[in-house]
A = this chain, B = another copy of it.
């Protein structure tokens, strides 16, 4: 696991000049971001977030799953966030992924069937709109203020998408 040793060395450099030990747990901007896990997207850099500013949740696709709703509930009720930003992106691997063939490949190579859908979608923008609706309509969230963006991996720019 040589790559991870490199990351630990990187961390030592980060910690050597660390001066943020007094940050509060509650995000100062009262914002929560739900974004795709994609390696090309760094939500903090792309949105100008500093340590302490915002919660950042991420999964494959950036879709609003139960785990993301759970995390948003914790974020809003326990730690006071009031606005939600959803970030999908161009060139997403979940867009157009052949769900059934992919699941069969995993089962064939691992010998174990996947106990869930991989969460592929036909259109990242449509999945983003579905996420916007889910957050707006979720009866157990405290705030339904949400906006959604497509991050363009080609340009680094975010483009707003309406629900």
Q: Which residue numbers of A lie inside 8 Å of B, CB to CB?
A: 1, 3-4, 6-15, 18, 20-21, 23, 25-32, 37-42, 44-60, 65-71, 73-75, 77-79, 83, 85, 91, 93-94, 97, 102, 105-107, 109-119, 139-142, 145, 147, 149, 153-158, 160
Contacts and interface: CB of A to CB of B under 8 A. Distances in A.
A124 to B, nearest CB: 13
Copies in the assembly, this chain:
2
A99 B73 CA distance: 12
Closest 4 CB pairs of A and B: A10-B48, A18-B156, A67-B67, A60-B71
A58 B60 contact: no
Contacts of A147: 1, 4
Identify which of A8, A37, A41, A106 gathers the most chain B CB atoms within 10 Å of its CB: A37
Given A8-B160, A74-B94, A111-B139, 18 more contacts: A4-B83, A6-B29, A7-B49, A11-B46, A11-B158, A14-B45, A26-B39, A32-B37, A37-B55, A38-B55, A40-B51, A45-B51, A56-B58, A60-B70, A60-B71, A66-B67, A74-B93, A115-B140
